[in-house]
Amino acid sequence: MPDALEAFAQPTLVGRSSSHFTRVARIFAAEMHIDYSFQIVRDLMSSDPGDYGGNPALRIPVMRTSRGVWFGALNVCRELWRQSSLKPRVVWPEQLDEPLLANAQELILQAMATEVTLIMSTLADASGANAHHAKMRTGLVNMMSWLEENAKSVLAALPPHRDLSFLEVTLFCLVTHLEFRSVLPMAPYSELKHFCQHFATRASIGETPYRFDP
């Protein structure tokens, strides 16, 4: 295939290797065996949507494909699945139709978002000393405690005939990122750590380690 056509056919993922939402998308790409080029966002303080693949929310990940641009991890994962010829059995958030599973997915995504706000607000104001910051930390600890208490039942309640679930990928990316960014020590969360150790045996995890892009 000529270079130009090949570049057009291969999606471009816009993100960072240190970002947990980006890692969710990268794990899905690896699981779907989809090659992509990786465009690193160098400055997360930029206010130019052009630096975020055109995302007006100034957030990553974003994926450019021949069909258009996809904003956000869930959209990207769904499009990767649609493009995949493997079509693995994936459990998506809308299939979590009972409170335990639905709440677990909600808290995982909220904890990821809270972590982003904590990290970004600390970057902007290194003291991190304000009432909202303290409330967010309390909320984060509460959410992680809930996830720790319910981890076993949540994982047992997921549909057994699955190759992958958005819930497990996001949970793995959240827990490992809290450690990677030293936001919250994970040692006391034994169930969550146990889940991560088990999930980390997948090839897609070894292929997508967190690291700070140069």
Residues at the site binding ligand GSH, with contacts judged by CB under 6 A: 19-21, 44, 58-61, 72-74, 116, 120
Q: Which is nearer to ligand GSH, 135 or 194 (CB)?
A: 135
Q: Which is nearer to ligand GSH, 95 or 121 (CB)?
A: 121
Q: Which is nearer to ligand GSH, 26 or 59 (CB)?
A: 59
Q: The tokens 């150790």 sit on which residue?
A: 197
> In angstroms, rounded to a whole number, what is the distance separating the alpha carbons of residues 72 and 100?
24
Task: Indicate the pairing of strand 90-91 with strand 164-165.
Answer: parallel
Q: Which is nearer to ligand GSH, 93 or 157 (CB)?
A: 93
Q: How far is the CB of 115 from ligand GSH (least distance, A)?
A: 8
Q: How far is the CB of 50 from ligand GSH (least distance, A)?
A: 15
Half-sphere exposure of 76 (CA within 13 A, CB side): 28
CB-based burial label for 210 (10 Å; 0-12, 13-18, 19+): middle
* Nearest CA-CA partner of 64 in 13, 2, 27, 120: 13
Q: How far is the CB of 210 from ligand GSH (least distance, A)?
A: 11
Q: How far is the CB of 139 from ligand GSH (least distance, A)?
A: 16
Q: Which is nearer to ligand GSH, 9 or 57 (CB)?
A: 57
Q: How far is the CB of 22 from ligand GSH (least distance, A)?
A: 6
CB-based burial label for 104 (10 Å; 0-12, 13-18, 19+): buried
Task: Indicate the pairing of strand 68-71 with strand 62-65.
Answer: antiparallel
